[in-house]
Amino acid sequence: MPQLRPLFAALFPALDRPVYTQDSFVALVLAHLNIVFWSSLASVVVGVGAGVAVTRPAGREFKPLVETVVAMGQTFPPVAVLAIAAPLIGFGTEPALIALALYGLLPVVRATIAGIESVPASVREIALGLGMGGLGTLLKVELPLALPVILTGVRTSVIVNLGTAAIASTVGAKTLGSPIIVGLSGFNTAYVLQGAILVGGLAVVTDMAFGRLGQHLDRWRTQSH
């Protein structure tokens, strides 16, 4: 970004400091990705676990409750979660991780449920007929067949978290939201633009990476069959 100083100076001639220099953009990108990784990992582990649990006979009655709870996680804006969590556990990355993990649950849970429920009953019956138990059928049949749908939910969750993680800077976490927030408070449009471009670029690259992963998964499934 410092190499682009002449460009931003030309675009915003009225600004004395057209490039954000309080933090290294490399450090901000790494910090941003770190928060997104851990919050998304928590969303995936909890979301897939909850989705699997409510598709089992013993947990099917809890399906409406789980769907309602995870939907509430997206009903509350992450800013509100941060405002509640920060005074309780302190400022920094911890409240941001909680807010983002809760916000990313819904697409993972819904995709897991939809993927497992899309597996034909005849396939389950064949698996049981081959001597697979409930756990074996889940691990060797249901989850592999549901994986493309689950991956779509994970993809949505991660992309949402990439954009939403920018607000973590409001509670002291280092993210690409830092130049955006500083720019908004100081009426520096260049800072806002620099942060927004990098956040958008990360989202595009991540989405393309998930697309490639989906293609590899499709080829692997085709070859395995």
Q: Domain 2-224 belongs to what architecture?
A: Orthogonal Bundle (1.10)
What pLDDT, on the 0 to 100 scale, is given for residue 221? 64
What pLDDT, on the 0 to 100 scale, is given for residue 198? 92
Integer CA distances (angstroms), 66 to 59, 77, 150, 223, in order:
10, 19, 17, 36
- Give the separation between CA 93 and CA 163, rounded to whole angstroms: 16
Three-class SS string for 56-87? CCCCHHHHHHHHHHHHHHHHCCHHHHHHHHHH
pTM attached to this predicted model: 0.85
- Give the separation between CA 96 and CA 171, rounded to whole angstroms: 8
- The domain spans of the chain are 2-224
Average pLDDT, the chain: 85
CB-based contact 214:148 (threshold 8 Å) = yes
185-213: pLDDT as tens digits: 888 899 899 999 999 999 999 999 988 88
76-107: pLDDT as tens digits: 766 667 777 767 676 778 888 888 888 888 89
Q: What is the mean pLDDT of residues 11-34?
A: 87
Residue 44 clears pLDDT 90, i.e. is over it: yes
